[in-house]
Structure formats: structure tokens, C-alpha cells
Amino acid sequence: MKPGYILKHEKPTRVFHWVNLIVFVLLLLSGLAVFNKNLAFLAIPFGGLKNAATVHKYLGWVYFIAPLVYIALYPKLFVKFLKVIGNITKDDIAWFKIAGGYLAPFIKGTPPPQDKYNAGQKSLGWMVIGLSCILAATGLAMFFYASMPPAVVRWSILIHAAVGIFLGCGVIVHAYLAAIHPVSSKEFYTMMGSGYIDEEFAKGHNEKWYKEMKAKSSQ
Amino acid sequence: MSPSFGRGAMTNSIPDVANADVIMVCGGNPAENHPGVARFINMAREKGGIVISVDPRYTRTSVLSDIYAPIRPGTDIVFFNALVNYILTNKKYFEPYVKNYTNASYLLKPEFGFKDGYFSGWDDAKKKYDYASWQYQTGPDGAPLTDPTLQNPDCVFQRMIKFYARYTPALVEKVTGMKQDLFLKIAAAYSATGVPDKSGTLLYAMGLTQHTKGVQNIRAFAIVQLLLGNMGLPGGGVNAMRGEANVQGSTDAGLLFGNLPGYLAAPSAAAHPNLKTYLEKITVKNSFAENSPKFAVSLLKAWWGDKAQPENDFCFDYLPKFSRPHSFMDIFDDMYAGKIQGLLLWGMNPLVSGPNFEKTAQGLEKLDWMMGIDLFESETHRFWKRPGANPKDIKTEVFLLPAASMVEKDGSATNTSRWLQMRYRSVDPIGDCKEDGAVMYMLVQELKKLYAADANAVYPGPILDLTWGYGGEHYNADEVFKEMNGWDVKTKQQLPGFATLKADGSTTSGSWIYCGMYPPAGNLAKRRKPDKQGIGLNLEWGWAWPMNRRILYNRASCDLDGKPFSDKKYLVHWDAAGKKWTGIDVPDFIGTRAPSDPLGAAPFIMVPYGLGRLFAPGGMTSDGPFPEHYEPMESPVKNAMGSVQNNPLAVTYKSDRDKWAKTGGDEFPYICTTYRVAEHYQTGNITRKLLTTTEAMPETFLEIDPELAKAKGIKNGEYVEVSSARGKIKVKAFVTPRLQPMVIDGKKCHVVGIPWNYGFFGEDPAGLANTVTSANMLTPQAGDPNVRIPEYKAFMVNVRRA
Amino acid sequence: MGTVSRRTFLKLMAAGAGAATVWNGNLAVPAIAAPRPYRLKDTKVSPSVCIYCGVGCGLLVYAKDGKVINVEGDPDNPNNQGGLCGKGSSAYEVYASPRRLKKVLYRAANSDKWEEKEWSWAIPEIAKRIKKTRDASFKLKEGAVAVNRTEALVQLGGASHDTDENYLLAKFARALGIVGLEHQARI
Amino acid sequence: MARLAYLFDSSKCVGCHGCQIACKQWNQEKATRTTFNGSYQNPPALSPDTRTIMRFYENFEQDTIPQLNILKVQCYHCGEPACVKACPSGALSKTDKGITAVDPSKCIACGYCHSACPFTVPAIGKHVNKCDMCLSRTEHGDDKQKTSTPACVKTCPAGALEFGDRDALVAKAHKRVEWLKSRGHKDANLYGEKVLGGLGVMSVLKYPPASYGLPPNPTMPLELFVWKDLFNPMGLLMLVGAVGAAAGHYLLALRQSRDDHHHHGGDESKGKEEMKG
């Protein structure tokens, strides 16, 4: 353990996040390529639209099954995660009111202390869970289109695309904040790398959680 | 048909169906079994024609019909006879035609009569008719006496009125299950063709013939056609649709025990001990058949060439003479009795197509050897491997030879309307396949060698002296056609037609009816000029026997003076200036015989005195000069016509495998009929080996009406067990409203139907491989007394959930 | 950003913009898209007649390099005017079916299998059996009448052969003294 | 170029399966394994190996006369084809003669066309398969041997199929409907004259379309418009918006962080470098 650092994400979580990330990005790219002719160029890295579509179809299954595997193998971690994102407090609402401070100088204010995940991340968590379920359901309908009522499939296509794009936008923002944003991308390595985070940063961004952890370790 | 008109072949042609004003489809299902006809049915309808479909099942042909009427299998005679009665009582017949072109005016012997289900002359002890009373009264010259006014109570016409009076519309409903009003609708529609400018045709196939009274079924309708004057007209005729590509050609060639090529009688020991009696017997005075000796001698000359000389009766003794019938069923009865050792099987699958499957199979086990040649291995070829058989116990040796297909050889097929059309060799046969002609050549050469080498060979003459060349192993069909047509022995010139044949041995002709197809100008079957404007006669497309005549008896389309009855139905006319018959068809008549000549107004030239036979004299149809209804051998009801239940002369067999259901019995209460489906051909030996056709109709089924299905708790697509007195099979049920229960004589009867295209060896669905699903597990060996065709179309079964 | 880093991604975006032109060119709707080439170019066409029912529908057989590649209806033939039913449409498959018999097969007495043989073996063997059966059962006379027949040897079939072959079948059988001679017209 | 079409006349059809088998034959498609399923209809549905089938409907008419309604089913070559609209890859297209053509090499097997089609016609295996009116024949065939007509039309032994200029066929079809009415088929109708921009395969029916399993009034599905005409551009905008917003914000945040002289600035750039690796 590096001094001054604190473990934020366990290894399984990190691996799962990686898997999910890769799969989602591939799904998003291939999905977008199929979605709109103007985005067809996105299929080039896949070697063409046909491959993109094939990748999308079968990777969709990975996207569908991977969380289930994670949940099945590490139910405790998952429950913990749910508890954290399920714990919506006044601070979270306050955080949202000032958009986490990210929209300064347009919306000014100091973000209130946050949990392990800030309010934005919490809401993204819910978004990912909820919308992924919709994506999975509609995706399954599309996968088994031949044995589904065509109208169900048609609506599924529509919903799948809408939800996919919406989630895609969410993930783009998330990725931006986590990986590109000059400040918050500090956390990037936590999830994508060793799992440890600078105590200072944690104190600043996830104050509540930091305190909790400190309390635990001092027991 | 032959007893009515003189020839047995389809009178008109397939394209000619389009010229009909009313088309009666009864005992046939052209849409499924001859789909090519559907185009012409549609064309006829578009021109205003009416289509009547009479069938126990609402078939895919019925889809094209204007009137559909269900009928109980095996009761067609009642329907047709009632039609005759309707025509007679309502005077719908075409009077000049009936008077002049039929034997309506002939006087019958007063002792001829009909009583209690039997015609006069029945000998109950011998179970035979004495035909002496089935004759005309004749004058001193042997010609029949006539009453042109048709009033004499002994004339055929008056006798008919009396005989047919029993066949009322009420009887139709009682026996056939066809509602009276429906019958009257049909009768009105069909009899409307009894005018000069309208014609009606009958399209039929095995639905009429495969009965113990098959010939009488056809007779019954032929009589309708004669009364309405529908013979010899475009869009008329009695049209037997042949089920196989060349069943016409093979019948023409005499591949039946009683025939030589060209429908010359095969000699029998009793009737034809020598050439002289043979020639006498085949000569029919006052008809074109008085030329038969010329045809017979030319045939012998063609077969045994220079060896056939007047001194040795042209090798007449080389022809085998039979002493008893050897029809299909007789052969298999003999085989089952162990009387047959060798079988030569050319492209046929009798195990599936013959009645009483198990009897056939066990008959095959008793052979010493069998030679088969075919495109595909059939059920018959592998009968020793059939489900339930142990090959180790079966001694029969089997040789199976691979045949060339229709694209791998030259040759010709004669279609149902007597047209010869050529096939050409497109590619060489695949694998080791060979043309049948080449195989025969090799066999004949080998046999000649064997017989020449063996001093003790029995009667080697017919084989050693047989002429056989035909290009040898490089089989040349044209050589065969040349021989069938014939040539002048001296000049070796091909003959222009059968009128030039001689009885003195100076001409040859292997098959006189084909004489004229290969004149010096070449093979006329090769012609390919379709007739796009006319009425579809197509005189320059291929060649039709006889002498390229497309519509038989077309002289009958003209009045006594040789003027067409109607310009709308014009075919030929007498050209008084040119002193010859001429027209758009080749006249089926003696070309220069003027209408005023004796027999100049006798259109049915193969019949003595040339008149169509409403009454078939002298036991020519052994079971009656008029058609009388008898119940099928197996029936749910007693014969409503009288005490005689079945055709008294029906052919039956007596082996331990010939078992019968009791009339009206509970054990087998449902009427069953067999048929074919559009997707499979006959026994399916070809189509069940092909993937596309099998995909479209993968397995057999039993068609059953919804009411019976409900009563038995049978759901569509479920397995049922169908059983008859002969056997049982498990097949899927096809519950369909296209079949409906019918009320027969106050009793509700259910008809079920099963296609017979299936066996046990093909591209069957998984789980069905090696399961016998042949409808002929159920069918009886019973036959018509005249032509010994089996009764496939009406027998009794039971059905239960399997 | 996982497998594709931001910069690579941006690069790809730029490349994609260029490629998109080409790509869109591919996407443009073609006037005609013939997915399968026309197979009958440079084929030898010969007429034939369908082997199924008695209507006598004309066939056109298309062959290339010694192989039949297609069979369809003959539009000139008055009987079918180019049409063919379900069975007739399978004519090509009759020629090409892998189930076609290609070799002479022989099943010995009491054997449970076929053996492949040559014609040069089969023809003499069959001829020997014909002769044996015929000679053993041949009847010269019945009473005073020369009947010259065998009832122990029968011949069946013919309706699926050519007319010329039918004639030969009749001639062949009668010359052997066969009286049990039948074909499909009877059933 | 005038629009090509073909006309199916159910009152002439006898359901012999000729068209179905000829289609397989010409297009060299595999025959599948089937079993009897309570009808003459087999294979039971269109599939990647089957472009056309005959459908059989058995009904009663006035309780006594059974009905056997036969319909040839294949791509109807709509004037306004939903499948082409739905197809994301350009595998489906409309030719200038009005034929809905297929380019299997472009197909991505997404199945959108299958569900978009009002008749659920296109079937997808490795790629989409459906009737293309035998383009290879109609484009290159020999008129004399009629290899320039689609295989099914040529083979129909009953003359129930006709191929040619659509306007001429419509006129012909109306005559047939009149004729059927004169024969007592009150409900005779021509199916597909106007719907969906006019079908390229029209059917003369003896009974109402529903007796043949046909939707009486097929339309382009509304969802397809929402998806293709509304959501497709909107979604694109949203995405571009999201990416743009992120980029904009980045610039903004960058300036802000510079202004703030945030002490984590250096680490941040280091992190980014690592990420790239």
C-alpha cells in the first residue's frame, strides 16, 4: 500500500469496469455505425459494417451477461455498490443544483461533501443499470426478431437506438469527466489502474467516504 | 372407350381443352396430377367455359370449378347414368348425331334384357354371361337392322330409355350422396352442350378406371358424349389423362399381355392356333380394322426380317401364345404362388404401386432373380431390406442397373394425346449409366451368343432370328423409329403411311399406328412449329398417331353431307370439287370416301359400320352392354339398384392374403380412396429422392373430415392408425373441411383419403425412414373384368388415434 | 478510453472523414444490383420432354462443359408453353441428384448388402439367368397348338421409357416367349 | 422506365408448388427438411432458403362448399418499400424498374427489414434473402426462351402468373376481377394496386384479403418514420452535441484550472500520458 493512498475500487470491480467499458465502447461505435448512415465510417475499425453489426450482435450478449457474472461472483460488492448509489442524500441534491461545480463560472458554488461516488456518478450508476436493462430487453427482441411480433421488434429497434444514444451521451460525459476533464480526471487511474487514490483527492471529492474509511481503519 | 368408339386413346389434345364450353372433371384431378392442363382449363373458362368438378374431395382442381359436387367413391355410374336419363327424358340430345352417328337406331334381339341386376344370358352356376342375346337383329347381309325413326321398342334408343329410367336424380342422392339440386344443376349445364356450336369434354384419369367396373365408368360417360354429339369436335371428346410420360407410348407398343404393338391382339392359344385363324380373327369387316392382316404381317416382317416368309407363316409361331390372363395382378398372384422365377423390371416400382403391398413383397421373395433398371433405387429393388424383412431369409438375387435420364439420351415420348415429341441427348450419361436401348442391345447380343453356342437350347429361333441393330451400344433411336414406321422390303424406301402396308410380306412396319411418322422426308416427330394463331391443333408440332390426326373421329363434326354442323366447331369438311376431305385437322377418315358412299357418313372408322356404340354388343364389355351400377367390392351399403352387390364378373384372388371387409360392417366403417399429390410422381421413386419435391410434400397423411376427426378425438397433424382387412399403417391426420361426410341411403358415411405416393425409402423426414407408409398396405387385389385394373379408389378402412 | 485512446480516436475521426466519402460512395444505391450472374450464357440448349405425367410438357436443357446446368420449360411447346409444375420444375435435380444410381449393383442371394459391379460382368450374368429360367420353363405345345411361351419369366414396366424403347421392350419380351408382360397402364 | 410487376391470379392458381420449386431451382437454394404439419403448405414459411411459398387457407363458404384459397407469397416489391427504408447498410435498394433488389454482399444481417416489412417477408440467414424478381433473368435473359421472365412466372403451368409492365397488368387485373364478379364471386378484388405506393406483385383474389392471410390495409409502420425520419437525425445531433459539449467544457475547464493554478494540474497531464500508453 502506497502511503498517502487509499483503496477505492476492488480488483473485481476494476476488471468488471474495464470489461464493461471496452464492450460498451465497441457496442456504441458499432451501434452508431449501423444507426445512421453518416456514422457508417465508425465501422471502419471493425473492417466494415457487416463485421460491426456482427460484433454488435454478439458483444451485446457479453454486455448482457458480464454484469450477471459479476453479480453472481461478487454479490457483496454489488450490494455495496447498490447501497452507495441508493443512498441519495440532501448533499447529492445540493450537488446537482450546482452541477457539481463543473459548470463554473456559469453556475457557481462549492460542492457539498460526497460519498464514494458523487451525485453525478450515482445517477450515472442508476442510468447504466436501468438503461442497460432496457437495452438488453430490446436487444434480445432484436436478436430474436424472427420469432417476435414484428411490431415489438420495430419498437424495440426504436427504443434501443434512443436509449443507446442517451446512455451513450451519458457515458461520453462520464468518460470526459473521468478521463479528460483537467480536474476530475484525477480519479481516472483509480478505476482504470491500481484502484488506489490520493487521500488528498479523496478528501476533497469524496469527503464522506474518506471519513468513513478513515474511521474504519482506525478502529 | 374402345368399345364405344373403336380406339382407346384420348380423343382430343391437351391444348384442345381450351376449346371446350363445358369441362367435366370427374375421376381425375388434372390440377394436381396433370398440372399442365390447368392452363387450358383457365383459358376455356376465360372464354366463357363452365367447369364442373365431381370428386369425393374438394381438390386443387375444384378450385378452378364453377360447380363442385362431392360424390361417394365408386358410384360414378349412377351419376353418369342419371345424366343420360336426364338427357333422354328432357330431349337434350343432339338428334341428327344420335340418329346418324350412333347405333341408336339398331334393333336389338328381342331376348336381350336386364333383370334383377343381371343382363340376359347370366349363368349363375358358371358365373358367366352367354353373350348370344347381346346382339343386333341382322339382315341377310349380316348388317344390323335399323329403325331410323328410333321408335321401334327393340331399337337401342328405346331400350336405353327403358334401361336408364331407373337412374333418377333421387337415386343419385341416395347412392352417391350428391344432392339432387346440385345434380340437376350439373345436368342442365352439361347437357347444354347438346347443340351444334357447343362442346363439352370429360377429363378423367384413374379415378374412373381404378374400379371393379372401370371400363363401364368410361362407357357410361362415352354414352353421354355420343348423345350430346360431343365426339369429334374441338373441345369435346373423352379425354383420359395419362399419368406417366409415356404410358401412351408403352400401351401403343403393346406392353400388355393381350396386345402387340399397334393394338393388334396378342395371339392366344385358344383363339389363334395359327396365322390363318389369327388373321381372320383380327379382321373386322366394314371397319378400318379389315386391314389388320396387313399390319400383323408387316410387324412379323419387321421383327424377323428375311426369316419371315409366307412358307413359315411369317414366323407367326415365334410369337408366344397365352392361355390365361397375365395382367399385373395375375402376375403378382402367380408370383405369390411361387410360379415365377425371373423378373425383368424396367423403370417400375410395383411394390409401392401394386395393390396389397405385403402380398407383392412376399411374391418378390419367391423369385430366383430380378433385374431392375432405373434412375434411382426403389422400394422394389430393395424389397429384401424392407422394414420387417430379414435379408438372410430372402434368396432372390437382384441386379440393379443404372439408367440414363431424359437429358442423357435421344428418344421420344408419346404424350396422352398421342403426340410424339423428341428428346435429345444433351450430355453423356453420368457415371456408368446407360440408355435402356443400349442395355437391351447388350442383352440381346449376349443371348444370341448363348443360344448359338448351346446345342441343347430350347426353341432358339425367335432369339437367333430376331432383327436387332439400332446402332448397337451407341444406341440410335432414329433407327428404331424407321423400323416402327416400316419400309418397302424391295426398295428399302421408308413408307409414307399405313395405307401402303401389305399382307404379302413386301412391307415391314413394327407398329402400324406409327407408320407415317418416318416417311422418306424424315422423322416427323422432330417438327417444332407451334400453332400460335389457330385453335391449338399444332399439326406441325411433333407428330400424332394416327397419321397426324389431332382430334379423332373429326368426321363427326360434319353433317351427313360433309358440311360442318357449326362453323364455330369447324375441323374438316368434304371438298366436293376436289373430291376429298380437307380441313384444319387431318381428317380421321378415308380421305376420298365421299359422304354419299356406303359408310361415307360413318365417322367411327374402327367400328364395324362406323357408328358410335351406345350399346356394346357381343360381350365386348364382358359385364354388360350398358353400364350398370354395382357397389365396390368393399362398401358401407347394400346396392340400392338390386340384389346383386358387386360386379358379378369382378376379378378377385383367393390367396390367404386376400381378405375383405364385410358390407356395412363396423370393423371397417369408413370409405377410403387413394390419390396422388401434385408434388410427387406415382410411387415417388423419383420425386421422393429429390430434395425440392420432398420439401414441398415431405410425408404422407390421411385426409379426414372435421366431423369424424372430432368424434374420434383426432387433431390436425396427429398420428392416426389406418387399417383395412389387408394391413395397417400409421400416418398423420389431415383434418380438412374439403372432405365432408355424406348421407348415403339414410346412413351417414365418412370418406377418408390417402395419397399412395409414399413407400419406405426416400428423403423421408427423420423418424420416418424405413417405415412403410404406402397406401397400398390397405388396398385390395380386385379388378375390373375387362381390363383387370385394380380397385384402388374405393375400399373400407378404420381409423383411430395412434 | 479503453482500447482506442483519445488521440487515436481523434485520428480515426479524421481518417474516417476522408474515408466517409468513399464509404458513402459504396452506400449509394445502385441502379441494378444483380446478385447472381445470369447462368445461361454460352450454354448448349436442347429440347426434351418431361418425364412425369402424360401431358408431355417440353423442356429446354441447358448444358455447359458436358454437364447439364439448368432445365426449364420449353415456351414453344404447345402443351406447356414454358410452364412446368412442381414436379417438372425439379427436372434438373433428377439429372443432378446425388442419389442417382451410377454403378451396377448386385445383391447376392441371402445377402444383406449391395455390391458394386461392372456392366461386363452383369450383362452375361443376367443373360445366363434369362436363358436358364426361360429354357427350364419353356412350353412348346399346349395340346396341338404351338404356344412357345414361358410363364416363369415376366417383364414389367415401360411407361417411363422412350417410345422407341417401349417398342424394343415389346419385341424383346415376345421374342423371349414372355406372356407375362405388363406396364403401368394397368395400375 | 416503366415499372415492372407481376400479377398473381388466385382464381387460376392450383397450388402445384411449381413456382416455389422453380424459384429454388433457379436461385440455387437449398431444400430444407420439413414434416407434414396439417396443410399442403410446405415449407411452412419463407426462410433464408426459400424466397417464395404457396400458402393454403381452407375455409367454408355458406357451410357447404369448402374453400381452398391459395396464395403465392414472396416479396411484394412495394412502391414504397419499408425494408429499403429500414435497411441500414444499403443491401436493399429499389431499381429504376421498381424492383426491390438485394445485394447480399452489403447485408449486415440486422433483420430490420424483416420486421419493417408489412408482410414480414425478408428472411435473414447469413444475409438477407428475398425475391428480387429474378434480376439476373430480367436483365440478361433470352426473350425467346422466356428466360427473361422470373422463374416462377415462366414455370406457372396454370397461367396464373404474368409478368410485365405494371400499368398493363393493372388493367388486365381489373378485367379479371370483373370476370370473377360475373361468376358470382362478389368479393373479388385486386390486392396491391394502391397500397404501399402500389405493390410490384399484385394478386387477384376471389375473397377478401383476410381469407388469404393478407393485411387488408398494409401501411408503412409509423415506428419506422419515427425512427428513420425523426430519431435518426435527432440522435445524431444529440451525439454530436454531447461530444461538442464535452469538448467545449474541456476548453472551459482547462482555462479555469489554469486560472485556479490548481495544484493537481501536473498530475493530471501525467495521467493522460499514461492513459495513452
> Which CATH number do you get for residue A162?
1.20.950.20
**Distant-in-sequence, close-in-space partners of A170: CB < 8 Å, separation ≥ 6:** A124, A127, A128, A131
In a domain, C104, yes or no: no
Q: B744 exposed, middle or buried (CB, 10 Å; 0-12, 13-18, 19+)?
A: buried
Backbone angles phi, psi at B728, to 5 degrees: -145, 155
Q: Quote the distance between the C-alpha of residue C97 and its chain's center.
A: 7
Which chain D residue has the Cα nearest residue C36? D136
Question: Measured between alpha carbons, how far apart are the two ends of chain A, in Å?
Answer: 18
CATH number of residue B351's parent domain: 3.40.50.740
Q: Which residues of D147-175 are buried (b: 16+ CB within 10 A; e: fewer)?
A: bbbbbbbbbbbbbbbbbeebeebbebbee
Contact yes or no for C75 and D103 at CB 8 A: no
Which has the closest alpha carbon to B250: C162, C155, C170, C166? C166
Backbone angles phi, psi at D211, to 5 degrees: -70, -10
Domain boundary among D197, D219, D241: D219
CA dist B433 to B683, B685, C102, C115, Å?
A: 22, 17, 6, 16
To the nearest whole percent, how much of chain C has pLDDT over 90?
A: 72
Contact yes or no for C35 and D103 at CB 8 A: yes
**Distant-in-sequence, close-in-space partners of D80: CB < 8 Å, separation ≥ 6:** D196, D197, D220
Q: Is the model more confident about B661 or about D272?
A: B661
The answer to whether residues B368 and B230 belong to one domain is: no
Domain that holds residue B29: 2-105+167-240
In a domain, B322, yes or no: no
Paired residues of C47 in beta bridges: C60
Domain boundary among B240, B260, B295: B240
Nearest to D12 among B32, B36, B42 (CB): B42
**Using CA atoms, how far apart are residues B589 and B600, in angstroms rounded to an integer?**
9
**Using CA atoms, how far apart are residues B721 and B742, in angstroms rounded to an integer?**
22
Domain boundary among D175, D203, D219: D219
CATH number of residue C82's parent domain: 2.20.25.90
In a domain, B586, yes or no: no
The answer to whether residues D263 and D199 belong to one domain is: no
Flag whether pLDDT at D208 surpasses 70.
yes
In a domain, B721, yes or no: yes
Q: Are C85 and B35 in contact (CB under 8 A)?
A: yes
Question: Which of D140, D148, D149, D268 would best serve as a mutation to test chain C binding (most C beta carbons within 10 A)?
Answer: D140
Contact yes or no for C174 and B440 at CB 8 A: no
In a domain, B282, yes or no: no
**Using CA atoms, how far apart are residues B763 and B684, in angstroms rounded to an integer?**
10
- C123 vs B: CB within 8 A: yes
The whole-number pLDDT of residue A109 equals 74
CATH number of residue D23's parent domain: 3.30.70.20
The whole-number pLDDT of residue A77 equals 87
Which chain B residue has the Cα nearest residue D184? B66
Flag whether pLDDT at D274 surpasses 50.
no
Chains B and A touch (3+ CB pairs under 8 A): no
Give the total number of structural domains in chain D. 2
**Using CA atoms, how far apart are residues C130 and B270, in angstroms rounded to an integer?**
27
Side chain identity at C104, as an amino acid letter?
V
CA dist D12 to A106, B70, B532, D203, D271, Å?
A: 76, 21, 22, 11, 77
3-state secondary structure of C135: helix
Domain that holds residue C74: 44-96
User: How many inter-chain contacts (C to D, CB under 8 Å) are there?
Assistant: 115
Contact yes or no for A34 and D89 at CB 8 A: yes
**Using CA atoms, how far apart are residues B528 and B530, in angstroms rounded to an integer?**
6
Q: Which residues of D touch A38 (CB under 8 A)?
A: 236
The answer to whether residues B236 and B366 belong to one domain is: no
Question: Which of B14, B54, B60 would best serve as a mutation to test chain D binding (most D beta carbons within 10 A)?
Answer: B60
Q: How many CB atoms lie within 10 A of CB D216?
A: 10
In a domain, C126, yes or no: no
CA dist B782 to B330, B791, C18, C81, D212, Å?
A: 10, 6, 84, 40, 43
Which chain C residue has the Cα nearest residue A44? C16
Q: Quote the distance between the C-alpha of residue B748 and its chain's center.
A: 33
In a domain, B499, yes or no: no
Nearest to C12 among A38, A40, A45 (CB): A45
In a domain, C131, yes or no: no
Question: Which of A41, A46, A59, A191 would best serve as a mutation to test chain C binding (most C beta carbons within 10 A)?
Answer: A41
Instruction: Work out the minimum CA distance from C32 to partner chain A, whole angstroms.
Output: 21
Which chain A residue has the Cα nearest residue D260? A183
pLDDT band at D259 (very low <50, low <70, confident <90, very high): low
pLDDT band at D62 (very low <50, low <70, confident <90, very high): low
Domain boundary among D192, D219, D246: D219
* Cis check: omega of the bond before A105, within 30 degrees of 0: yes
Split chain B (802 residues) into runs of 10 and give each run's mean pLDDT: 83 94 94 94 96 95 95 96 97 96 96 94 94 95 94 96 97 96 97 96 91 94 96 94 86 93 95 96 92 97 96 96 95 96 95 92 97 96 94 97 94 91 95 95 97 95 95 91 96 96 96 96 94 89 94 95 95 95 95 93 93 94 95 95 94 92 94 94 92 94 95 95 94 94 94 94 79 91 92 95 90
pLDDT band at C32 (very low <50, low <70, confident <90, very high): very low
Residue with cell string 402380398: B359
Domain that holds residue A178: 5-218
**Using CA atoms, how far apart are residues A192 and B87, in angstroms rounded to an integer?**
99
Instruction: Work out the minimum CA distance from A133 to partner chain C, whole angstroms.
Output: 23
Least confident among A176-185, B577-586, D242-251: A176-185
Q: Which residues of B touch C176 (CB under 8 A)?
A: 447, 462-463
Domain boundary among B408, B440, B464: B464
**Using CA atoms, how far apart are residues B406 and C67, in angstroms rounded to an integer?**
14
**Using CA atoms, how far apart are residues C143 and C159, in angstroms rounded to an integer?**
35
Flag whether pLDDT at A142 surpasses 80.
yes
- A99 vs D: CB within 8 A: no
Which chain B residue has the Cα nearest residue D185? B66
CA dist C10 to A174, C5, C14, Å?
A: 18, 8, 6
- The ipTM value here is 0.90
**Using CA atoms, how far apart are residues B71 and B77, in angstroms rounded to an integer?**
11
Least confident among A5-19, A104-118, D114-128, D134-148: A104-118
Domain that holds residue D29: 4-219
The whole-number pLDDT of residue A104 equals 66
Flag whether pLDDT at D9 surpasses 60.
yes
The whole-number pLDDT of residue B13 equals 93
The three cell numbers locating residue A63: 454486455
In a domain, C24, yes or no: yes
Give the total number of structural domains in chain C. 3
